[in-house]
Each structure stands twice: as structure tokens, then as C-alpha cells.
């Protein structure tokens, strides 16, 4: 689908983890079909009389803050409770301080990569929102640790392939040439590469390379997140593919073309293609409105379609004395209707399947992004993996000259030590 300029709120491009995720639920009341966290025998804590909830969010800007405040105020008016919405300057740090001090917010944004760590520390109240099965399965999986889903998906984004229309046509390519697999992607990237423009430019690290790993049927850890699998054939082959294209000069990192991220390289037309999430739409509209482009799904790997999910949930504190009211608020915030209000206000994609048709009707140019919910993979979700991932990201910056097997042996060793293998 061809895009020129779209009038929507600009999403922060680099701070994905701070803003991208949706969720939906079945109404504003505390419904009987809403599972109580902590198991069947453990009822949620409930405030006596009206509750005064504190909500901590990591906002992408004024539009998101206003939309969340309005939704919280509407729920408070209907329920007779109160909600104070606080905008974090550093949500990870402020949550850590709250948990350590015994006074965390009752409800908060929580990135999928942090769920296992916070759950293992005993900081989360596990719950399922109303009509939980309506959330995309891939998103429910992203918030599952040790066979427990800990929170309701708030919203999400996926990676898709952006293609510069002018570059595509200048190279003599047509819609029939839009790549559907890795081999075709390599071919068109080579065709599009010129002295002034790389065929494909991406940001470095696992948040882009991981899409090729997933398409090859691999992942950095096993399904239970108990064992490192970096040296498995699907992972190594996927990284070798990226290395080959980098060495050939048709793929490049953003820094290689003096850009801060893939979207900047694409907007300044130093890249004919890039892999970014739907947050790129706002950036292109605001900063590069004259660049026309097409969005397609990430090409398939050897095992089929694959992409990455970037998502957050509505976390509820185990220490909250108003867990029942917090979950009731989640139910209100995650109805399909409210999720669409958030989508229209600040550009996020609904995490409920019931909202998908309305979203695609309102934003048909996002069809490739929302399609990824059916086959996307969430982030590494295991406790204390942050330093290991940071080291891997650093190593992947030199992928063009790396010994991939040796690189991944180092990852497996580091991850294994953390996982207790």
C-alpha cells in the first residue's frame, strides 16, 4: 500500500519500549469472567470504599498523556474511584524505587522484556483481564512467564518493510517485485543499492536481526526461556544471511550511513528500504513528508513468516491494596472501543482481535503491521538478561566481520550462566 503523508500523532521512534502496546477488555465493571491473579484460591485485594489508584505511564507525548488521563477520569467518574496519572521520566528507575520502597504505583506500563524479572522478584499481581482470549495469542505469550500470564497486553507494534517508491521505480521494479522471502529481499536490495543509497538499512541489534531469526524458525532462548539456543542452526543461518548482505554492501546499519536509526536513513533517502515499526509513520509525516513509500510484511524466511513484537502491558502491583479496582480499570482501558480511541489519539495498535477490523478500516496503511500479530515474537523474557542482551547487541554491531558461530557461543555461555544451565 502506497503512503505519502499521514496526519497522525508522531510516535517516538527510538523509545519503542516506552510507548508501544495495546489491550482490550469486556467492559468497565469488574466482570465475573475476569480471573483473579495469584490463582483460583487467592482473591484480589480490594480497597474498602472508594479506591485512590496511582497509575505510572511512560508517555510518548502530550497526546498520549491526555488520552490516558481522559480514559482514567471517565472510569473514575463511572466507578466512584479516583486515579492519579503520573508520567514517568524514567519508568524503569521509578518502578524499581517504588518496589524497593514498598510503595509502587497500583497500575503501570510494563514492557514485555521486564515481565519475567518483575514476576520473579514478586512485584506483580497476576491477573487476566475480561475476555482474555480476545487478546492476540502472540501478545498473551509475550507476557507469560513460568506458565502464568501476568498482565493484559496494552497495545503493540511489529516490524514491517518500508520501500521508497521513487527508488523502486527508478530501479525498474514493480509491485510484482516486492520481496516475499529472504532471497528476493537480497536480490532487490542489491538492485536498489547505488553510490548514494543502500538497498536496506536497519538499526543494529537483536530488535532488527531478530526478525530474520524468527523467520528462520529460531530464537535466542528455548520456548521455556530456560536454555540459550544461540548456536542453533536457525539462529546461526539467519545471522549468516545478514552478514553476507552486509559484506556485499547491499545491507547496512544506520550508523554506516550517518543516521541515528533506520527511519532517519530511510527519510533522508540514504536507504531505499528499512525495517521499522508503525511508529515510523509519524516520523515520516512530521520530518520527511515528501518521501512516498510502500509498506509490506517482512519477507518470509526458511520457516515462513516472522516479525518482532514490541508491546507493553498494564502491570498491577502485588503490593497494591486495590488490586480489584486496578483490574477493573484495566478492563475499562482495554475495551475495543477504548483501544480505538487510543489508536486515533496517539497511533498505537489495539491488542484485541475484536478491534482489528475497525483499526484496519481506520488505518488501512497499517495492514502489514497488524498482520504481524499473527506470527510475531515478543522480546527475550527471562530474569536478569539485560546485560547479556546488551553484550549481544554490541557484538552484532560488528556482524559484517564476525565469526557468527563464535559470537553465538559467547552469547550461549553468558546466557547460560544467568539462566543457571
Least reliable range by pLDDT among 16-30, 129-143, 192-206, 258-272: 16-30
The fold adopted by the segment(s) 160-276+384-419 is: D-Maltodextrin-Binding Protein; domain 2 (3.40.190)
The answer to whether the Cα torsion of 329, 333, 336, 341 is positive or negative is positive
| SS3 state at 88 | coil
How sure is the predictor about 49, in pLDDT bands with cuts at 50, 70 and 90? Answer: confident
Please check the confidence at residue 401 and state whether its pLDDT lies above 50: yes
Which 8-state DSSP code applies to residue 37?
T
* pLDDT tens, residue by residue, 235-257: 999 999 999 999 999 999 999 99
With cell 527471562, the residue in question is 382
How sure is the predictor about 6, in pLDDT bands with cuts at 50, 70 and 90? Answer: very low
* pLDDT tens, residue by residue, 85-96: 999 999 999 999
Common-topology check for domains 12-157+309-377 and 160-276+384-419: yes
What pTM was estimated for this model as a whole? 0.88
How is the chain split into domains, by residue range? Answer: 12-157+309-377, 160-276+384-419
Least reliable range by pLDDT among 8-22, 58-72, 120-134, 219-233: 8-22
Q: Tell me the mean pLDDT in the region 57-75.
A: 97
| SS3 state at 100 | helix
Percent of the chain topping pLDDT 70: 90
The predicted structure's pLDDT at residue 330 = 98
Give the separation between CA 216 and CA 230, rounded to whole angstroms.
13
User: From residue 344, how far is each of 150, 324, 403 by CA, in Å?
Assistant: 27, 29, 46
Helices 233-248, 206-215: axis angle to 10 degrees equals: 120
- At the top level of CATH, the class of 12-157+309-377 is alpha beta
Cβ pair 97, 315 in contact under 8 A: no
The predicted structure's pLDDT at residue 42 = 67
With cell 504481524, the residue in question is 372
The alpha helices in 155-232, defined as continuous H runs, are 165-170, 182-192, 206-215
The burial of 89, by beta-carbon neighbours within 10 Å (0-12 exposed, 13-18 middle, 19 or more buried), is given as exposed
Q: End-to-end CA distance of the chain, in Å?
A: 46
* pLDDT tens, residue by residue, 327-385: 999 999 999 999 999 999 999 999 999 999 999 999 999 999 999 999 999 999 999 99
Amino acid at each position: 500500500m502506497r503512503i505519502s503523508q499521514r496526519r497522525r500523532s508522531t510516535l517516538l521512534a527510538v523509545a519503542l519500549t516506552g510507548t508501544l502496546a495495546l489491550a482490550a477488555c469486556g467492559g468497565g465493571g469488574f466482570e465475573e469472567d475476569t480471573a483473579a491473579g495469584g490463582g483460583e484460591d487467592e482473591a484480589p485485594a480490594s480497597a474498602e470504599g472508594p479506591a485512590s489508584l496511582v497509575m505510572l505511564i511512560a508517555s510518548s507525548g502530550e497526546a498520549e498523556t491526555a488520552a490516558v488521563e481522559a480514559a482514567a477520569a471517565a472510569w473514575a467518574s463511572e466507578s466512584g474511584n479516583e486515579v492519579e496519572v503520573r508520567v514517568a521520566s524514567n519508568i524503569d528507575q521509578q518502578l524499581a524505587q517504588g518496589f524497593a520502597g514498598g510503595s509502587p504505583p497500583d497500575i503501570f506500563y510494563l514492557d514485555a522484556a521486564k515481565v519475567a524479572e518483575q514476576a520473579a522478584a514478586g512485584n506483580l499481581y497476576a491477573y487476566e483481564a475480561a475476555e482474555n482470549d480476545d487478546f492476540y495469542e502472540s501478545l498473551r505469550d509475550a507476557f507469560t512467564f513460568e506458565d502464568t500470564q501476568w498482565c493484559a497486553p496494552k497495545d503493540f507494534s511489529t516490524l514491517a518493510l518500508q520501500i521508497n517508491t521513487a527508488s523502486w521505480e527508478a530501479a525498474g521494479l514493480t509491485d510484482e517485485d516486492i520481496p516475499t522471502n529472504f532471497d528476493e529481499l537480497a536480490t532487490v536490495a542489491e538492485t536498489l543499492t547505488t553510490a548514494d543509497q543502500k538497498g536496506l538499512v536497519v538499526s543494529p541489534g537483536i530488535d532488527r536481526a531478530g526478525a530474520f531469526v524468527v523467520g528462520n524458525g529460531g530464537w535466542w532462548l528455548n520456548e521455556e526461556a530456560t536454555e540459550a539456543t544461540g548456536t542453533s542452526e536457525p539462529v546461526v543461518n539467519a545471522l549468516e544471511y545478514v552478514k553476507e548482505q552486509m559484506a556485499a554492501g547491499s545491507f547496512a546499519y544506520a550508523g554506516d550511513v550517518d543516521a541515528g536509526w533506520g527511519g532517519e536513513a530511510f527519510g533522508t533517502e540514504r536507504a531505499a528500504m528499512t525495517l521499522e515499526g508503525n511508529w515510523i509513520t509519524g516520523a515520516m509525516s512530521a520530518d520527511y513528508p515528501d518521501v512516498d513509500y510502500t509498506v509490506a510484511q517482512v519477507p518470509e524466511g526458511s520457516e515462513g513468516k516472522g516479525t518482532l513484537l514490541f508491546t507493553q502491558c498494564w502491570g498491577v502491583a502485588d503490593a497494591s491494596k486495590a488490586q480489584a479496582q486496578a483490574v477493573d480499570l484495566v478492563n475499562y482501558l482495554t475495551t475495543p472501543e477504548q483501544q480505538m480511541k487510543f489508536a486515533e489519539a496517539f497511533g498505537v495498535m489495539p491488542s484485541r482481535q475484536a478491534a482489528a477490523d475497525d483499526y484496519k478500516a481506520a488505518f488501512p496503511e497499517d495492514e502489514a503491521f497488524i498482520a504481524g500479530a499473527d506470527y510475531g515474537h515478543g522480546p527475550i523474557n527471562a530474569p536478569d538478561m539485560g546485560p547479556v542482551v546488551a553484550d549481544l547487541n554490541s557484538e552484532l554491531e560488528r556482524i559484517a566481520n564476525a565469526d557468527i558461530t563464535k559470537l553465538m557461543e559467547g552469547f550461549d555461555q553468558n546466557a547460560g550462566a544467568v539462566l543457571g544451565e
